Amino acid sequence: MASQIRIPENGEKITIQGGTLSVPENPIIGYVEGDGIGPDITRASMRVWNAAVELAYGNSRKIHWCELFMGEKAGSLYDGNYFPDETLEAIEDLVVAIKGPLSTPVGGGFRSLNVSLRQSLDLYACIRPVKYFAGVPSPMRRPEEVDVVIFRENTEDVYSGIEFPSGSPENEKLAKFLREEMDVNFEEGAGLGNQANSGRQSVTLVHKGNIMKYTEGAFRSWGYELAREEFADVTVTEDQVWEMYDGEAPEGKVVIKDRIADIMFQLMQLRPAEFDVIATTNLNGDYLSDAVAAEVGGIGIAPGANIADHVAVFEATHGTAPKYANQDKVNPSSLLLSGVMLLEYIRWQEAADLITETFPKVIRQGKVTYDFARLMENATEVSTSEFASALIQEMKS
Protein backbone atom coordinates (compact mmCIF):
# COMPACT_ATOMS: atom_id res chain seq x y z
CA MET A 1 0.00 0.00 0.00
CA ALA A 2 1.27 3.48 -0.88
CA SER A 3 2.28 5.75 2.00
CA GLN A 4 -0.53 7.95 3.31
CA ILE A 5 1.79 10.23 5.30
CA ARG A 6 3.16 13.38 3.67
CA ILE A 7 6.23 14.81 5.39
CA PRO A 8 6.29 18.64 5.04
CA GLU A 9 9.09 19.65 2.69
CA ASN A 10 9.93 22.95 4.38
CA GLY A 11 10.38 21.55 7.86
CA GLU A 12 13.27 19.77 9.60
CA LYS A 13 13.02 16.72 11.80
CA ILE A 14 13.74 16.84 15.50
CA THR A 15 16.75 14.66 16.29
CA ILE A 16 18.57 13.27 19.30
CA GLN A 17 22.08 14.65 19.68
CA GLY A 18 24.30 13.54 22.55
CA GLY A 19 21.35 12.07 24.37
CA THR A 20 19.28 15.25 24.27
CA LEU A 21 16.59 16.68 22.02
CA SER A 22 17.83 18.85 19.16
CA VAL A 23 14.99 21.04 17.93
CA PRO A 24 15.37 23.11 14.74
CA GLU A 25 13.63 26.45 14.26
CA ASN A 26 11.18 24.81 11.84
CA PRO A 27 10.46 21.41 13.39
CA ILE A 28 8.17 18.80 11.87
CA ILE A 29 5.75 17.56 14.53
CA GLY A 30 3.23 14.79 13.98
CA TYR A 31 -0.42 14.99 14.88
CA VAL A 32 -3.34 12.57 14.92
CA GLU A 33 -6.76 14.23 14.73
CA GLY A 34 -8.48 11.48 16.66
CA ASP A 35 -12.02 10.16 16.51
CA GLY A 36 -15.36 11.71 17.46
CA ILE A 37 -14.69 15.25 18.65
CA GLY A 38 -11.02 14.89 17.74
CA PRO A 39 -11.12 16.92 14.51
CA ASP A 40 -13.00 19.79 16.21
CA ILE A 41 -10.61 20.15 19.12
CA THR A 42 -7.52 19.57 16.98
CA ARG A 43 -8.42 22.33 14.53
CA ALA A 44 -9.14 24.77 17.35
CA SER A 45 -6.04 23.90 19.36
CA MET A 46 -3.74 24.06 16.35
CA ARG A 47 -4.89 27.61 15.64
CA VAL A 48 -3.95 28.61 19.19
CA TRP A 49 -0.57 26.84 19.13
CA ASN A 50 0.36 28.41 15.81
CA ALA A 51 -0.72 31.85 16.97
CA ALA A 52 1.30 31.55 20.17
CA VAL A 53 4.43 30.53 18.25
CA GLU A 54 4.01 33.41 15.81
CA LEU A 55 3.41 35.95 18.57
CA ALA A 56 6.36 34.68 20.61
CA TYR A 57 8.92 34.35 17.82
CA GLY A 58 7.65 36.20 14.77
CA ASN A 59 8.88 34.57 11.58
CA SER A 60 11.94 33.01 13.18
CA ARG A 61 10.15 29.84 14.31
CA LYS A 62 7.31 27.78 12.92
CA ILE A 63 5.93 24.29 13.51
CA HIS A 64 5.36 22.25 10.35
CA TRP A 65 2.53 19.88 11.20
CA CYS A 66 2.53 16.40 9.71
CA GLU A 67 -0.75 14.50 9.83
CA LEU A 68 -0.50 10.90 11.01
CA PHE A 69 -3.31 8.38 11.10
CA MET A 70 -4.75 6.16 13.79
CA GLY A 71 -8.27 5.11 14.70
CA GLU A 72 -11.26 5.45 12.41
CA LYS A 73 -9.55 7.71 9.87
CA ALA A 74 -6.67 5.25 9.58
CA GLY A 75 -9.18 2.46 9.06
CA SER A 76 -10.57 4.24 6.01
CA LEU A 77 -7.10 4.80 4.57
CA TYR A 78 -5.38 1.52 5.43
CA ASP A 79 -8.00 -1.08 4.49
CA GLY A 80 -9.50 -1.33 7.97
CA ASN A 81 -6.21 -1.12 9.88
CA TYR A 82 -6.76 1.26 12.82
CA PHE A 83 -3.16 0.96 14.00
CA PRO A 84 -0.88 1.15 10.92
CA ASP A 85 2.83 0.42 11.22
CA GLU A 86 3.53 3.48 9.09
CA THR A 87 2.20 5.75 11.82
CA LEU A 88 4.29 4.09 14.53
CA GLU A 89 7.39 4.41 12.39
CA ALA A 90 6.63 8.05 11.67
CA ILE A 91 6.21 8.89 15.36
CA GLU A 92 9.58 7.31 16.14
CA ASP A 93 11.14 9.18 13.23
CA LEU A 94 9.62 12.56 14.11
CA VAL A 95 10.25 12.03 17.87
CA VAL A 96 7.43 14.36 19.02
CA ALA A 97 3.72 14.06 18.24
CA ILE A 98 0.30 14.96 19.64
CA LYS A 99 -2.99 13.14 19.30
CA GLY A 100 -6.69 13.58 19.85
CA PRO A 101 -8.86 10.93 21.55
CA LEU A 102 -9.20 7.50 19.93
CA SER A 103 -12.13 5.09 20.11
CA THR A 104 -11.75 2.16 22.50
CA PRO A 105 -14.65 -0.34 22.66
CA VAL A 106 -15.47 -1.69 26.13
CA GLY A 107 -15.42 -5.48 26.54
CA GLY A 108 -14.77 -6.38 22.92
CA GLY A 109 -13.59 -5.25 19.50
CA PHE A 110 -10.02 -4.16 18.88
CA ARG A 111 -7.65 -3.57 21.75
CA SER A 112 -7.21 -0.05 23.10
CA LEU A 113 -5.25 1.98 20.57
CA ASN A 114 -3.94 4.22 23.33
CA VAL A 115 -2.53 1.28 25.26
CA SER A 116 -1.15 -0.31 22.10
CA LEU A 117 0.60 2.93 21.19
CA ARG A 118 2.22 3.26 24.61
CA GLN A 119 3.40 -0.33 24.63
CA SER A 120 4.58 -0.42 21.01
CA LEU A 121 6.77 2.67 21.50
CA ASP A 122 7.59 1.87 25.15
CA LEU A 123 6.17 5.20 26.28
CA TYR A 124 6.66 4.12 29.86
CA ALA A 125 5.94 7.41 31.63
CA CYS A 126 2.54 9.07 31.64
CA ILE A 127 2.85 12.63 32.90
CA ARG A 128 -0.31 14.40 34.04
CA PRO A 129 0.07 17.91 35.48
CA VAL A 130 -3.04 18.98 37.38
CA LYS A 131 -3.27 22.66 38.23
CA TYR A 132 -6.08 25.05 39.01
CA PHE A 133 -6.70 27.98 36.66
CA ALA A 134 -8.45 30.95 38.21
CA GLY A 135 -12.08 31.19 37.21
CA VAL A 136 -12.59 27.51 36.39
CA PRO A 137 -15.60 26.08 38.27
CA SER A 138 -14.51 23.66 40.98
CA PRO A 139 -16.19 21.71 43.81
CA MET A 140 -13.21 22.44 46.07
CA ARG A 141 -13.25 25.15 48.72
CA ARG A 142 -9.62 26.06 47.95
CA PRO A 143 -8.89 24.68 44.48
CA GLU A 144 -5.88 26.97 44.12
CA GLU A 145 -4.03 24.58 46.46
CA VAL A 146 -4.16 21.84 43.82
CA ASP A 147 -0.91 21.94 41.85
CA VAL A 148 0.61 18.51 41.31
CA VAL A 149 2.36 16.53 38.60
CA ILE A 150 1.40 12.86 38.50
CA PHE A 151 3.96 10.46 37.06
CA ARG A 152 2.20 7.23 36.20
CA GLU A 153 3.83 4.01 34.99
CA ASN A 154 2.33 3.64 31.57
CA THR A 155 2.75 0.16 30.06
CA GLU A 156 2.35 -2.46 32.78
CA ASP A 157 -0.02 -3.30 35.67
CA VAL A 158 -3.49 -4.29 34.43
CA TYR A 159 -2.70 -2.51 31.14
CA SER A 160 -0.17 -5.21 30.25
CA GLY A 161 -3.11 -7.16 28.88
CA ILE A 162 -2.18 -10.50 30.42
CA GLU A 163 -5.66 -11.94 30.90
CA PHE A 164 -7.50 -15.06 29.87
CA PRO A 165 -11.30 -15.24 29.45
CA SER A 166 -13.40 -17.86 31.21
CA GLY A 167 -13.57 -21.12 29.27
CA SER A 168 -10.42 -20.57 27.21
CA PRO A 169 -7.68 -23.26 27.21
CA GLU A 170 -5.23 -20.69 28.61
CA ASN A 171 -7.61 -19.92 31.46
CA GLU A 172 -8.04 -23.58 32.33
CA LYS A 173 -4.30 -24.22 32.25
CA LEU A 174 -3.56 -21.25 34.51
CA ALA A 175 -6.44 -22.13 36.85
CA LYS A 176 -5.12 -25.68 37.24
CA PHE A 177 -1.63 -24.40 38.02
CA LEU A 178 -2.90 -21.89 40.59
CA ARG A 179 -5.12 -24.45 42.35
CA GLU A 180 -2.80 -27.45 42.29
CA GLU A 181 0.63 -25.89 42.51
CA MET A 182 0.03 -22.61 44.33
CA ASP A 183 -2.94 -23.62 46.52
CA VAL A 184 -4.93 -20.56 45.42
CA ASN A 185 -8.73 -20.78 45.69
CA PHE A 186 -11.14 -18.81 43.49
CA GLU A 187 -14.54 -19.18 41.87
CA GLU A 188 -14.92 -21.81 39.15
CA GLY A 189 -14.98 -20.24 35.68
CA ALA A 190 -13.47 -16.93 36.77
CA GLY A 191 -11.60 -14.80 34.24
CA LEU A 192 -7.93 -14.65 35.17
CA GLY A 193 -5.38 -11.88 34.76
CA ASN A 194 -1.84 -11.15 35.84
CA GLN A 195 -0.74 -7.74 37.10
CA ALA A 196 2.80 -7.37 35.80
CA ASN A 197 4.99 -4.82 37.57
CA SER A 198 8.71 -4.57 36.96
CA GLY A 199 9.49 -1.26 38.60
CA ARG A 200 11.80 -0.05 35.89
CA GLN A 201 12.13 3.71 35.69
CA SER A 202 9.53 4.17 38.43
CA VAL A 203 9.64 5.95 41.78
CA THR A 204 6.68 4.71 43.76
CA LEU A 205 5.11 7.07 46.22
CA VAL A 206 1.43 6.09 45.93
CA HIS A 207 0.84 2.35 46.14
CA LYS A 208 -1.27 -0.50 47.43
CA GLY A 209 1.71 -2.24 48.98
CA ASN A 210 -0.20 -3.17 52.11
CA ILE A 211 -2.08 -5.74 50.00
CA MET A 212 0.05 -6.30 46.86
CA LYS A 213 3.28 -6.69 48.78
CA TYR A 214 5.43 -8.18 46.01
CA THR A 215 4.34 -5.88 43.19
CA GLU A 216 3.18 -2.49 44.44
CA GLY A 217 5.04 -2.98 47.69
CA ALA A 218 8.16 -3.59 45.62
CA PHE A 219 7.57 -0.31 43.79
CA ARG A 220 7.61 1.51 47.10
CA SER A 221 10.86 -0.19 48.12
CA TRP A 222 12.52 0.53 44.79
CA GLY A 223 11.48 4.15 45.04
CA TYR A 224 13.23 4.66 48.34
CA GLU A 225 16.21 2.65 47.12
CA LEU A 226 16.57 4.83 44.04
CA ALA A 227 16.42 8.02 46.09
CA ARG A 228 18.97 6.65 48.56
CA GLU A 229 21.46 5.32 46.02
CA GLU A 230 21.29 7.92 43.25
CA PHE A 231 19.93 11.11 44.80
CA ALA A 232 21.10 10.98 48.39
CA ASP A 233 22.58 14.48 48.16
CA VAL A 234 19.23 16.08 47.30
CA THR A 235 16.65 13.84 49.01
CA VAL A 236 15.53 13.03 52.51
CA THR A 237 12.82 10.64 53.62
CA GLU A 238 9.79 11.79 55.55
CA ASP A 239 10.91 9.69 58.53
CA GLN A 240 14.28 11.42 58.50
CA VAL A 241 12.59 14.82 58.48
CA TRP A 242 10.92 13.98 61.80
CA GLU A 243 13.80 12.03 63.32
CA MET A 244 16.63 14.39 62.37
CA TYR A 245 15.12 17.78 61.54
CA ASP A 246 12.20 18.19 63.99
CA GLY A 247 9.62 17.96 61.22
CA GLU A 248 11.07 20.75 59.09
CA ALA A 249 12.57 19.63 55.77
CA PRO A 250 16.09 21.02 55.29
CA GLU A 251 16.45 23.59 52.56
CA GLY A 252 17.44 22.17 49.20
CA LYS A 253 16.22 18.64 49.96
CA VAL A 254 13.33 16.83 48.30
CA VAL A 255 11.24 14.87 50.77
CA ILE A 256 10.50 11.30 49.72
CA LYS A 257 7.28 9.97 51.25
CA ASP A 258 4.71 7.33 50.44
CA ARG A 259 0.97 6.93 50.88
CA ILE A 260 -1.44 4.03 50.49
CA ALA A 261 -3.60 4.62 47.42
CA ASP A 262 -6.86 4.61 49.41
CA ILE A 263 -5.89 7.48 51.67
CA MET A 264 -4.29 9.44 48.85
CA PHE A 265 -7.68 10.08 47.28
CA GLN A 266 -8.85 11.62 50.56
CA LEU A 267 -5.68 13.63 51.05
CA MET A 268 -5.92 15.19 47.61
CA GLN A 269 -9.28 16.57 48.65
CA LEU A 270 -8.48 17.47 52.26
CA ARG A 271 -4.82 18.57 52.09
CA PRO A 272 -3.78 18.94 48.43
CA ALA A 273 -1.19 21.59 49.21
CA GLU A 274 1.00 18.91 50.82
CA PHE A 275 1.78 17.28 47.47
CA ASP A 276 3.87 18.43 44.52
CA VAL A 277 4.95 15.37 42.49
CA ILE A 278 3.12 12.06 42.66
CA ALA A 279 4.64 8.85 41.28
CA THR A 280 2.53 5.74 41.08
CA THR A 281 1.68 2.57 39.22
CA ASN A 282 -0.51 2.40 36.15
CA LEU A 283 -4.01 1.70 37.44
CA ASN A 284 -3.56 3.83 40.56
CA GLY A 285 -2.38 6.65 38.34
CA ASP A 286 -5.31 6.25 35.99
CA TYR A 287 -7.82 6.61 38.80
CA LEU A 288 -5.93 9.29 40.71
CA SER A 289 -5.15 11.59 37.79
CA ASP A 290 -8.81 11.67 36.72
CA ALA A 291 -10.03 12.16 40.29
CA VAL A 292 -7.66 15.06 40.93
CA ALA A 293 -8.57 16.60 37.57
CA ALA A 294 -12.19 16.71 38.78
CA GLU A 295 -11.04 19.07 41.54
CA VAL A 296 -9.88 21.71 39.06
CA GLY A 297 -12.47 21.59 36.30
CA GLY A 298 -12.62 18.01 35.12
CA ILE A 299 -10.90 15.77 32.64
CA GLY A 300 -12.00 18.09 29.85
CA ILE A 301 -9.13 20.43 30.72
CA ALA A 302 -6.62 17.80 31.89
CA PRO A 303 -3.48 17.58 29.73
CA GLY A 304 -1.23 14.55 29.43
CA ALA A 305 1.90 13.15 27.83
CA ASN A 306 3.30 9.69 27.17
CA ILE A 307 7.08 9.75 27.12
CA ALA A 308 9.91 7.28 26.53
CA ASP A 309 13.60 8.17 26.77
CA HIS A 310 13.06 10.76 24.04
CA VAL A 311 9.97 9.95 21.96
CA ALA A 312 6.95 11.82 23.31
CA VAL A 313 3.28 11.65 22.39
CA PHE A 314 1.06 14.30 23.95
CA GLU A 315 -2.68 13.67 24.08
CA ALA A 316 -6.15 14.69 25.11
CA THR A 317 -6.90 12.63 28.19
CA HIS A 318 -10.66 12.32 27.65
CA GLY A 319 -12.72 10.16 25.32
CA THR A 320 -14.10 10.72 21.84
CA ALA A 321 -17.62 11.90 22.86
CA PRO A 322 -19.08 10.79 19.52
CA LYS A 323 -22.50 12.37 20.17
CA TYR A 324 -20.81 15.78 19.94
CA ALA A 325 -18.70 15.00 16.87
CA ASN A 326 -18.60 17.74 14.22
CA GLN A 327 -20.76 20.08 16.33
CA ASP A 328 -17.98 22.57 17.20
CA LYS A 329 -19.25 22.38 20.77
CA VAL A 330 -16.85 20.78 23.24
CA ASN A 331 -14.08 22.16 25.39
CA PRO A 332 -10.71 21.81 23.58
CA SER A 333 -8.65 22.55 26.69
CA SER A 334 -7.33 19.06 27.40
CA LEU A 335 -5.69 18.86 23.98
CA LEU A 336 -4.86 22.56 24.01
CA LEU A 337 -2.96 22.31 27.30
CA SER A 338 -1.29 19.08 26.18
CA GLY A 339 0.08 21.19 23.35
CA VAL A 340 1.44 23.57 25.97
CA MET A 341 3.30 20.60 27.45
CA LEU A 342 4.62 19.84 23.96
CA LEU A 343 5.90 23.40 23.57
CA GLU A 344 7.61 23.11 26.95
CA TYR A 345 9.10 19.76 25.92
CA ILE A 346 10.76 21.26 22.85
CA ARG A 347 11.82 24.20 25.05
CA TRP A 348 9.69 26.85 23.37
CA GLN A 349 8.73 28.22 26.76
CA GLU A 350 7.74 31.69 25.59
CA ALA A 351 4.99 30.31 23.36
CA ALA A 352 3.83 27.94 26.10
CA ASP A 353 3.65 30.79 28.62
CA LEU A 354 1.55 32.92 26.28
CA ILE A 355 -1.17 30.28 26.33
CA THR A 356 -1.05 29.50 30.05
CA GLU A 357 -1.14 33.19 30.94
CA THR A 358 -4.03 33.88 28.58
CA PHE A 359 -6.16 30.85 29.44
CA PRO A 360 -7.40 32.03 32.88
CA LYS A 361 -8.06 35.52 31.53
CA VAL A 362 -10.54 34.17 29.00
CA ILE A 363 -12.12 31.90 31.62
CA ARG A 364 -12.59 34.86 33.98
CA GLN A 365 -14.25 36.79 31.15
CA GLY A 366 -16.86 34.02 31.11
CA LYS A 367 -16.20 33.06 27.48
CA VAL A 368 -16.45 29.31 27.93
CA THR A 369 -17.78 26.20 26.25
CA TYR A 370 -21.03 24.58 27.37
CA ASP A 371 -19.46 22.35 30.05
CA PHE A 372 -18.24 25.36 32.02
CA ALA A 373 -21.10 27.68 31.08
CA ARG A 374 -23.64 25.49 32.86
CA LEU A 375 -21.59 25.69 36.06
CA MET A 376 -20.85 29.42 36.01
CA GLU A 377 -22.98 32.48 36.59
CA ASN A 378 -23.24 35.08 33.83
CA ALA A 379 -21.12 33.04 31.45
CA THR A 380 -21.26 33.44 27.69
CA GLU A 381 -21.39 30.03 26.05
CA VAL A 382 -19.09 29.83 23.03
CA SER A 383 -18.26 27.10 20.54
CA THR A 384 -14.98 25.22 20.32
CA SER A 385 -13.70 27.47 17.55
CA GLU A 386 -14.96 30.64 19.27
CA PHE A 387 -13.10 29.68 22.44
CA ALA A 388 -9.92 29.33 20.39
CA SER A 389 -10.58 32.72 18.77
CA ALA A 390 -11.05 34.31 22.20
CA LEU A 391 -7.71 32.94 23.35
CA ILE A 392 -5.95 34.19 20.24
CA GLN A 393 -7.53 37.62 20.53
CA GLU A 394 -6.51 37.87 24.18
CA MET A 395 -2.95 36.80 23.36
CA LYS A 396 -2.75 39.60 20.81
CA SER A 397 -4.12 42.29 23.12
Q: Which of 131, 208, 329, 367 is catalytic?
A: 208
- The partner residues of 96 in beta bridges, in order of sequence, read 312
Q: What is the DSSP string of 72-102?
A: HHHHHHTTT-SS-HHHHHHHHHH-EEEE---
- Which has the closest alpha carbon to 33: 102, 130, 82, 93? 102
Q: Enumerate residues 6+ apart whose C-beta is below 8 A from 66.
A: 5, 6, 7, 8, 11, 28, 29, 30, 31, 90, 94
CB 11, CB 64: distance < 8 Å: yes
Q: Are strands 303-307 and 125-131 parallel, antiparallel or unpaired?
A: antiparallel
In sequence order, the 6+-apart residues with CB closer than 8 A to the CB of 16 are 22, 95, 310
Options 159, 258, 329, 367, the catalytic residue: 159
Q: What three-state secondary structure class fits 32? A: strand
Residue 124 is a catalytic residue: no
Taking the C-alpha atoms of residue 253 and residue 234, their distance in angstroms, rounded to an integer, is 5
262 is catalytic: yes
What one-character-per-residue DSSP string does 227-273 give?
Answer: HHHHSTTTEEEHHHHHHHSTT-PPTT-EEE--EEHHHHHHHHHH-GG
- CB < 8 Å & 24+ apart, contacts of 108-114: 110/82, 110/83, 111/161, 113/70, 113/71, 113/82, 113/83, 114/315
Q: Which of 35, 157, 258, 286 is catalytic?
A: 286
Q: Is 208 a catalytic residue?
A: yes
Name the active-site residue from 262, 276, 309, 396. 262
Nearest to 316 by CA among 27, 14, 5, 33: 33
What distance in Å separates the CA atoms of residue 315 and residue 359, rounded to the nearest whole number?
Answer: 18
Give the DSSP H or E segment for 48.
helix 38-57
Which residues are known to be catalytic?
A: 159, 208, 262, 286
